[in-house]
Amino acid sequence: MSINLKPYQEKAVNQLIQNAIKLLDFDGLGETLVFQAPTGSGKTIMTAKFIEGLIKELPSDDFCFVWMSIGKGELHLQSKMALEKTFKGFPRVSLVEEEFGGGRERIVKDEVVVANWEKLRTKDREKNEWKNLLMKDGEKLNFRDVLEKTREQRKIILIIDESHTNASSDRAKELRDLIAADIIVEMSATPRLMPTAEDLIETRAGYVKVNPKDVIEEGMIKKELIINEDIEKIAKSEEDSQAAVLEAAFQKRIALKKAFEKEGSNINPLVLIQIPTAEAGEQKIEAVNRFMAERGITEKNGKLAIWLSEQKSETIEWISEPDNEIEFLIFKQAIDTGWDCPRAHILVKFRETQNIVFEIQTVGRILRMPEQRHYDNEILNRGYIYTNLQSISVKKEEYNPNIIKHLKANRVKEYKPLGIESYYKSRADYGDITSTFTLVFETIANEYFGIKEGGKVKENIKAVEAKNINLDIDKYQQEFIADTAVDVKKFDDLEGKIDPDSLAKLSMAADELAVLFDKIIKENLGSFKNVKRSIPAVRSAIYQWFNTYLESDKWAEPSLITQKILLNDSNRGVFEHILSKATSEYAIVKQKEVKKRIEESEQRYPFDLPVELFYNEHADEIVKLKKYAYDPSYLDINRSAPEKDFEDYLNQNSSKIVWWWKNGENKQDYFGIKYEYQKDIYTFYPDYLVQFSDGKLGIFEVKDSGDRDGKTYTKSKAEALQKYLVNQKNKKLFGGVVIKRDHVWSINTNTSYDWEKCEKNNWNDWSVL
């Protein structure tokens, strides 16, 4: 089965290839290409596809790859398996310890050699001699000799996996010096060694970054991680904190399993239990085993596994399978590298010190989504951490500072059930072209050229050439201005275009071709405005059509030649016509897709404020508030100025309020109302819910008096809110858009929201408070 890359993955692969081609042109060693991608984004797959693509783009170039894992563990073995699964036989993947024990002289062309630097680098400190037989001097060739002989014939591309590990240490320098690679690709979520601006400008270094927001939007990783959810409730019935933590994880796993079953998924969620590495660890293992045995979970019945440095369960190899029967895994050694198990959903971490700093790499094993998509039930889109640590700190994650939530607030006792309905739907459309475009493009292209399904390739080529398409293109050339003189005396008077004295035709570089190819796609996207997400899908459809009907995969450089054919002056107009027509017809297909997705994801359900909510110290602040619905009172640091003014107003009138709450967005924990704008369906999350002492419940959307969206989104939201209020059984509901004008708060409760009238003072005085 072929691997379908996500749009962000395909973009990164193409950028890696383009950067590597540039760097290979330099004489000398050690040009660096930094590849930064978040945990869970698929770094290994992207880098594997980069290797495949580079070999295809430069078939006549002679190079090989050394894939080196840094740090302890078995990450290199996992990488080897992933590479073999991706490559399916070519290029060849070899393990250093299996292939280079003295029988081979060099690494062959295109070969990928995988190794673990920690295992290779061990030395006798006193004698300064290599300990590993693969590195020691002797009668047979060692791996150092192999590298030297390889460099005599071909270039070496070094790929350092998890390069942040000891990146600036002596051992990292030792690795770079030993391999002496022409290019060093540094893969990491948090690279330590970044190329300088000067190197990037002079293209002596490269930098490719995957945006974490794209990874989350594609459903590859969880939206957030919650620490100690419901722990206090469970702790009341348990003897100690250890039992409470285990029981909380036990119950959460059951809830997750039921939620997966409702989604029609066979995922069996896994709980990871990390015990201290000190002597107390053995006692913890015994205690955990007793706890699990009381609930029918043992190694014997296959529901429990142990993975320690000195002890490994025999069933560990299959634990990553989505429906594997193992429910709990005990481990002592660090599990943050060297193992990938997307069904891991809960982490239990026992006290080893008084405090620990939680960061993404610590909890990376529960970050991935098991089926690379988000679910309708938000419980499945979160990871859960349970711990009996006395205090917790969270490191600020630059790309998503709100992902780890460890500060808890409880709903106040004055709260009473609301009895109102909330609306929620998953995001169904990003305004982009997706992989389903491939079939539409294929249909339009085949119609134009008269190609029949199942026809022979020779017949297809004749049909294409019959439409005056030139397929025999070795290089793509553009005309450039040449040998043109500019009269210096008249330089100050020059204006407008300079007419060339002559023109020269020169071949375009591969990276310039790729840019021009994407430009043609961008100009023919029609109504699809999300260029960033659309281009990879359209590009893939074009490549796939050339491959399916013209067997472009047998060409020397498939993607490069495809680009040259499409960009050729005599061909370009035809393919632009096909592209334009295909994107136009795809708009109808996409509309039906989106409608179906919306129907499948729409939910209406009784809403109440959650019993507890979780926050992050870097994204939320604790605020002194009166009558807030939660204690302590945490609010988003980035609240708008009008929202802060409205909160002050509520504080000043707290005597007339039972509780008030700042609503959130994009989750089922928050209150939503359905609204439409330009025929598209959205969820509107009003800013505030206020329970008044007289029994009324207010729903308010706060806006600035100079609201720029007054005629568009605000109008749609305001009218949807009034429609919602009319249709609710609870007749004590009221609300509307509120603004502060001339130091006085006003509200608009009209069923028809007219911003032009609002600007002329079409507001009701705020008389409730």
pLDDT tens per residue across span 17-34: 999 998 998 877 778 999
| More confident position, 404 or 154 | 154
Of 399, 270, 289, the residue nearest 340 (C-alpha): 270
| More confident position, 663 or 274 | 663
Q: Which of 133-142, 286-295, 499-508, 672-681 has the highest mean pLDDT?
A: 286-295
- Name, in order, each residue with C-beta under 8 angstroms of 10's C-beta and a sequence gap of 6 or more: 536, 539, 540
The reported pLDDT for the residue numbered 139 is 64
Q: Is 292 exposed, middle or buried (0-12, 13-18, 19+ CB in 10 A)?
A: buried
- Name, in order, each residue with C-beta under 8 angstroms of 360's C-beta and a sequence gap of 6 or more: 38, 39, 189, 367, 397, 403, 404
| Backbone angle region of 102, left / alpha / beta, with phi > 0 → left and psi within -120 to 50 → alpha | left
In whole angstroms, give the CA distance from residue 748 to residue 736: 5
CA angle 60, 65, 71 (to 5 degrees): 170
For residue 235, the number of C-alpha atoms closer than 13 Å in the C-beta half-sphere is: 12
Cα radius of gyration rounded to whole Å, the chain: 31
The reported pLDDT for the residue numbered 503 is 42
Of 58, 38, 46, the residue nearest 11 (C-alpha): 46
Average pLDDT over residues 660-689: 89
Of 629, 644, 634, the residue nearest 740 (C-alpha): 644
Residue 475's CB is within 10 A of a number of other CB atoms, namely 12
| Backbone angle region of 742, left / alpha / beta, with phi > 0 → left and psi within -120 to 50 → alpha | left
The reported pLDDT for the residue numbered 411 is 95
In whole angstroms, give the CA distance from residue 35 to residue 45: 13
Which residue's entry shows tokens 């690795």? 175
The reported pLDDT for the residue numbered 498 is 46
Q: Give per-residue pLDDT as tens, 586-637.
A: 999 998 888 888 777 788 899 999 998 988 888 889 999 999 999 999 999 9
In whole angstroms, give the CA distance from residue 129 to residue 176: 18
Residue at 442: amino acid letter: E
Q: Give per-residue pLDDT as tens, 468-482.
A: 999 886 644 444 444
Average pLDDT over residues 229-245: 76
φ, ψ for residue 341, nearest 5 deg? -145, 90
Q: What percent of the chain has pLDDT over 70?
A: 83
The reported pLDDT for the residue numbered 403 is 66
The answer to whether the peptide bond before residue 632 is cis (omega within 30 degrees of 0) is yes
Q: Which of 190-194, 254-258, 547-551, 716-720 has the lowest mean pLDDT?
A: 190-194
Three-state SS for 457? helix
Our CA dihedral for 290, 294, 295, 299, rounded to 10 degrees, sits at 50
Of the pLDDT bands very low, low, confident and very high (cuts 50, 70, 90), residue 533 is: confident
Which residue's entry shows tokens 């026809």? 455
Which residue's entry shows tokens 């939910």? 603
1 has a pLDDT exceeding 70: no
Q: Which of 111-120, 166-175, 475-484, 759-768 has the lowest mean pLDDT?
A: 475-484
The reported pLDDT for the residue numbered 279 is 62
Please spell the DSSP secondary structure of 468-499, one letter per residue: T-----S--EEEEEES----GGGGGG--SPPP
Instruction: List the structure tokens of 500.
Output: 């060339």
Q: Which of 2-16, 242-256, 392-406, 663-677 has the lowest mean pLDDT?
A: 392-406
Three-state SS for 63? strand
| More confident position, 234 or 237 | 234
Instruction: List the structure tokens of 729.
Output: 């059984």
How does the average pLDDT of the chain come out, rounded?
Answer: 83
Of the pLDDT bands very low, low, confident and very high (cuts 50, 70, 90), residue 361 is: low
